[in-house]
């Protein structure tokens, strides 16, 4: 049997290629856990959707639930509140009421002030943030600042007459 002799140049090229492949595989193996850590955790995914039974909410009252660590205000509006909301487009951030609700009698908004993240209090037909004085109307639209935007409307959909799912639509 004859021994295959590799010249010095061929051997060097082979070792460089082999080292590069092994090093590249090591880099990929090291990066996988870091990339995987950027995915949402299981507890966040579990809270991605919240189903709410609306049957216990009477007209003119508000129910607060937690969704993704934030309060969500659900209001069953009276015909008077609906008329007042439809008659105005808001103040600082104008938006028609029809774009903020799926059913006129139900308002669903994230209860976090858009100025500094405080939780506004229900006062009269709307909300007041006592931290810095922002006021929101019966549709969650900002009518007096310093808040720059309306209360956020989360993604939601009705799955039955008295059930709403807040989260992915």
Tell me phi and psi for residue 168, to 5 degrees. -60, 135
Per-residue H/E/C for 23-60: HHHHHHHHHHHHHHCCCCCHHHHHCCCEEEECCCCCCC
132 noted as active-site residue: yes
**Element containing residue 9 per DSSP (H, E):** helix 8-36
According to DSSP, the residues that pair with 73 across neighbouring strands are: 64, 109
Dist. CA 30–CA 24, nearest whole Å: 10
The span from the CA of 28 to the CA of 101, in Å, is 47
Q: Out of 63, 115, 132, 157, pick the active-site residue.
A: 132
Q: How far apart are the first and last CA of the chain?
A: 72
Catalytic residues: 132
């Amino acid at each position: 049997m004859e021994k295959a002799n590799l010249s010095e140049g061929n051997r060097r090229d082979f070792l460089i290629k082999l080292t590069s492949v092994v090093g590249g595989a090591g880099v990929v193996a090291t990066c996988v856990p870091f990339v995987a850590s950027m995915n949402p955790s299981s507890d966040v995914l579990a809270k991605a959707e919240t189903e709410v039974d609306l049957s216990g909410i009477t007209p003119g009252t508000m129910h607060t639930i937690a969704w993704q660590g934030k309060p969500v205000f659900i209001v069953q509006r009276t015909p008077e509140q609906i008329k007042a909301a439809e008659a105005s487009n808001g103040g600082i951030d104008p938006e028609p009421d029809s774009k903020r609700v799926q059913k006129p009698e139900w308002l669903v908004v994230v209860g976090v002030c858009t100025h500094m993240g405080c939780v506004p209090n229900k006062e009269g037909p709307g909300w007041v943030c006592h931290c810095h004085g922002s006021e929101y109307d019966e549709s969650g639209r900002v009518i007096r600042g310093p808040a720059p935007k309306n209360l956020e409307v989360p993604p939601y959909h009705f799955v039955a007459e008295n059930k709403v799912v807040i989260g992915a639509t």
